[in-house]
Amino acid sequence: MKKPILSILRFHEEYPDNDTCLERLFRDRFPKPVCPVCKRVNQYHRIASRARFSCSCGKHHIFPKEGTIFEHSSTDLVKWFFAIYLFSQSRNGVAAKELQRELQVTYKTAWRMAQEIRKLMNDEPVLQTGEVEADETWIGGKAKGWKNRNTNKTIVFGSVQRKGKVNASIVKDCTEQSLLVHIRSNVAKGAKLLTDDWRAYKNIAHIEGYAHSSVNHSARQYVDGTTHTNTIEGFWSQLKRSIDGTYHVVSPKYLSSYLGEFVFRYNNGRRTDSHLFDILIGRVALPHVAAASRIGAYQCLL
Report the mean per-residue pLDDT for the chain.
Answer: 88
| Per-residue pLDDT at 50 | 86
Q: Are residues 137 and 222 in the same domain?
A: yes
Return the closest-CA partner of residue 114 out of 83, 71, 76, 75: 83
Percent of the chain scored above 90 by pLDDT? Answer: 74
pLDDT in the model for residue 302: 30
- 104-156 pLDDT, tens digit per residue, is 999 999 999 999 999 999 999 999 999 999 999 999 766 555 554 555 789 99
My answer on whether 296 and 232 are in the same domain is no
Query: Can you spell out the DSSP letters for 168-190?
Result: EEEES--SHHHHHHHHHHHB-TT
Q: Are residues 156 and 97 in the same domain?
A: no
Q: Is residue 235 part of a domain?
A: yes
Domain tally, the chain:
2
Q: What is the pLDDT of residue 45?
A: 92
Q: Which amino acid is at 211?
A: A
110 sits in which H/E element = helix 107-120
Q: What is the pLDDT of residues 35-87, one digit of tens each?
A: 999 999 989 999 888 899 999 998 999 999 999 999 989 999 999 999 999 99
Residue 263 in any domain: the answer is no
- Per-residue pLDDT for 256 more than 70? yes
Q: Using CA of residue 242, residue 89, residue 125, residue 212, what is the dihedral sign?
A: negative
Please check whether residue 270 lies inside any domain of the structure. Answer: no
Distances (CA, A) of 220 to 25, 150, 197, 200, 213: 53, 21, 11, 19, 16
- Over the Cα atoms of the chain, what is R_g? 23
* Statement to judge: residues 79 and 135 lie in one domain: no
Give residue 238's identity as a one-letter amino acid code: Q
Spatial separation of the C-alpha atoms in residues 132 and 163, rounded to whole Å: 10
Domain assignment of residue 221, given as a range: 131-252
Question: CA angle at residue 261 from 290 to 90, to 5 degrees?
Answer: 115
Pick the closest to residue 158 from 180, 133, 192, 177 (CA basis): 133
| Residue 126 included in any domain | no
How far apart are the C-alpha atoms of 276 and 86, rounded to whole Å?
10
Q: Please report whether residue 260 resides in a domain.
A: no
- Distance between CA atoms of residues 238 and 216, nearest Å: 23
The answer as to whether 233 is a domain residue is: yes
Contacts of 113 (CB under 8 A, 6+ apart): 73, 75, 80, 83, 99, 103, 105
pLDDT of residue 5: 78
296 confidence band (pLDDT: 50, 70, 90): very low
User: Which pLDDT belongs to residue 3?
Assistant: 59
**Percent of all residues in the chain with a pLDDT value above 70, rounded to a whole number:** 89
Indicate which CATH number applies to the domain containing 212: 3.30.420
Q: Same structural domain for residues 141 and 199?
A: yes
Residue 105 — φ and ψ, nearest 5°?
Answer: -125, 175
Residue 290 lies in a domain: yes
Confidence of residue 292 (pLDDT cuts 50, 70, 90): very low
C-alpha to C-alpha distance for 191 and 131, rounded to whole angstroms: 6
Cβ 68 vs Cβ 76: under 8 Å: no
Q: Do 60 and 160 belong to one domain? A: no
If asked whether residues 177 and 105 sit together in one domain, one would say: no
Same domain, 136 and 248: yes
Q: Where in the chain does DSSP place strands (E)?
A: 44-47, 52-55, 60-62, 131-139, 154-161, 166-171, 192-195, 211-214, 298-300
Same domain for 142 and 240, yes or no, is yes
Q: Is residue 268 part of a domain?
A: no
Q: Model confidence over 94-110: pLDDT tens digits?
A: 999 999 999 999 999 99
- Same domain, residue pair 214 and 186: yes
Give the whole-angstrom CA distance, residue 252 versus residue 239: 15
Burial class (CB in 10 A: 0-12, 13-18, 19+), 298: middle
pLDDT at 6: 85
Same domain membership, residue 91 and residue 20? yes
pLDDT of residue 249: 85
Shared domain for 152 and 232, answered yes or no, is yes
Residue 217 — very low, low, confident or very high, per pLDDT cuts 50/70/90? confident
